[in-house]
Amino acid sequence: MFNKKTDHPRGSKKLIGAWTLYDWANSVYSLVISSAVFPIYYSQYVFSQTNSIILFNAEINKDTLISLVSAFSFLLIAFLSPLLSGVADYIGNKKIFMKFFVYLGSLSCIGLYWFELETIEISLIFYTLTLIGFWGSLVYYNSYLRDITYPNQTNIVSAKGYTMGYIGSVLLLLINLIMINFYESFGFESEIIAMKSSFAIVGLWWLGFSQYSFYHLPKGNIGVKIPKNIIWNGFKELKNVYKIIRSSKRFTRFLIAFFVFSFSLQTVLYIASYFGVNEIDWTGSDQTSGLIISILLIQIVAIAGAFIFSRLAQKFGNIIVLTFAIFLWGAVCLYAYYINTPNEFYMIAGLVGLLMGGTQPVARATFSLFIPDTNDTTSFFSFYDVTEKIGIVFGMLFYAIAAQVTGSVRFSVIIFMFFFFLGAILLTRVPRIDKNKLA
């Protein structure tokens, strides 16, 4: 336990602004690297001459390769995150750990500039470290939400964070696209060099803007002497939180439902670009431009989704609104299974954006509102984080197997539909939040 040290009181605009700006800083990674430019670079340039690679004496499909590497990264995060969260709560300074993951991820992101097929092993190491840095930092970032807001602010502030991320990532993506399409005007030798340079710019953006958040977020204890049994004490912090979660129907039922719908949501978002590349008939249309338009559409519509669903959650209750959103995800997957044309793909992109913007902030705020008054917020959010990461590992492995066996992304989408419907059903069993406590 510790007394938080900050120049800004809980609920202040300066503190909330600093917290939301980290979404602005890191979301460029999830858009440019995870969704937009890197998947196109990976599929159309790195693997332009082949669809598979021989690695460890086995022929691995390019989509299977990136899925397995991603799954390994998430599994590693799921193992490290709880232990480090317990240590962070014990010494009373989560910012140290958040900084570590930010620096690891942003600098590795710059290293993606050298991602090539000829050096695929070291390239995949950089890719792995970017994932670890990005997702590892989020458990500490998310845990601040409980520290900096009062209950009546939580839904709106969570939505504001995601909105800042959507706006910032779209802004940088547009800059990158201009840079790529007019590469000669920017002094690049080729489109490929411009694309690779965009990865480095993402790393610098992430690293630079996060400094403002680090400056204003609660400092925690400074100059604490680290005891020899720090790992054991961190484990005890985690064990105490686990007992609270295990004894609460609200926590356990929500985390089970969250596991099911989160791995479906994250995997669908992950495969969206690959679905567009492999399953949509782009005859007469520019595939690359079409994919970029759809990704921008997702991000822009997500801004509206974040505020619409957060306002609805404030009025009707988080669990009811979240259940409705997850059910709609299942319906969208059903529709996606049958689409073939670019216009249909754009329609799906708009629906995905609306639901992505609505689901993510409400889910984060819901879990935050469950946490009792405590200083161990990082340990609580580590369970949220681990549930999400193990779920993503499950989803990535599922998709990798489906891609390897069927060679199609379309088949896996219809199966995720059933998981979304299951997640919605499981959410109905979660005790609702008393709206009077949000006043």
pLDDT 10s digits, 24-75: 999 999 888 887 888 888 888 888 777 777 766 677 877 778 878 887 888 8
- Residue indicated by tokens 């957060």: 310
Q: Which of 406, 409, 403, 275 lies closest to 342 in space, CA to CA?
A: 275
- CA dist 140 and 219 (Å) reads 13
Q: Is residue 356 pLDDT above 90, yes or no?
A: yes
Dihedral sign, Cα of residue 425, residue 426, residue 427, residue 428? positive
What type of residue is 350? G
Report H helices in 280-376: 287-316, 318-337, 342-370
Contact (Cβ atoms closer than 8 angstroms) between residue 325 and residue 358? yes
Give the pLDDT band (50/70/90) at residue 90.
low
- CA dist 110 and 126 (Å) reads 9
Average pLDDT over residues 255-271: 88
Strand-pair partners of 59: 54
What type of residue is 206? W
pTM exceeds 0.85: no
- CA dist 372 and 428 (Å) reads 22
Contact (Cβ atoms closer than 8 angstroms) between residue 336 and residue 385? no
Give the pLDDT band (50/70/90) at residue 287.
confident
Average pLDDT over residues 309-327: 94
Share the mean pLDDT of the chain: 85
- CA dist 14 and 106 (Å) reads 25
Which structure tokens are listed for 104? 């690891």
- CA dist 195 and 396 (Å) reads 25
Question: Within its chain, how far is the Cα of 417 from the centroid?
Answer: 20
- CA dist 74 and 181 (Å) reads 33
Give the pLDDT band (50/70/90) at residue 234.
low
Q: What's the pLDDT score for residue 377?
A: 76
- How many CB atoms sit inside 10 A of residue 424's CB? 21
Tell me if residue 61 falls in helix, strand or coil: strand
Average pLDDT over residues 394-421: 79
Q: Which of 168, 192, 166, 171 lies closest to 181 in space, CA to CA?
A: 192
Q: List pLDDT tens digits, range 111-157.
A: 999 999 888 889 999 999 999 999 889 888 988 888 888 888 888 99
DSSP character string of 121-158: HHHHHHHHHHHHHHHHHHHHHHHHHHHH--HHHHHHHH
- CA dist 60 and 62 (Å) reads 6
Q: Is residue 206 pLDDT above 80, yes or no?
A: yes
Q: What's the pLDDT score for residue 81?
A: 78
Which structure tokens are listed for 306? 């974040």
Q: What's the pLDDT score for residue 439?
A: 45
Q: List pLDDT tens digits, range 173-204.
A: 999 999 998 999 999 999 999 999 999 999 99
pLDDT above 70: percentage of residues in the chain:
90
Contact (Cβ atoms closer than 8 angstroms) between residue 420 and residue 325? no
Q: Which of 383, 370, 281 lies closest to 322 in space, CA to CA?
A: 370
- Residue indicated by tokens 């929500």: 254
b/e map 122-158, b = 16+ CB within 10 Å: ebbebbbbbbbbbbbbbbbbbbbbbbbbeeebbbbbb
Low-confidence winner among 91-95, 391-395, 434-438 (lowest mean pLDDT): 434-438
Q: Is residue 298 pLDDT above 60, yes or no?
A: yes
Which structure tokens are listed for 123? 């390239």
Q: Is residue 316 pLDDT above 80, yes or no?
A: yes
Average pLDDT over residues 147-168: 91
Strand-pair partners of 60: 53
Q: What's the pLDDT score for residue 221?
A: 56
Q: Is residue 403 pLDDT above 70, yes or no?
A: no
The CA-CA-CA angle for residues 331, 78, 370, to 5°, reads 65
Contact (Cβ atoms closer than 8 angstroms) between residue 85 and residue 378? yes
- CA dist 61 and 81 (Å) reads 30
pLDDT above 90: percentage of residues in the chain:
46
What type of residue is 192? I
Q: Which residue has better confidence, 267 or 200?
A: 200
The class that CATH gives domain 13-220+228-438 is mainly alpha
Low-confidence winner among 131-135, 355-359, 364-368, 370-374 (lowest mean pLDDT): 370-374
Average pLDDT over residues 245-269: 90
First to last CA, the chain: 28
Contact (Cβ atoms closer than 8 angstroms) between residue 304 and residue 354? yes
- CA dist 71 and 131 (Å) reads 10
Q: Which residue has better confidence, 277 or 112?
A: 112
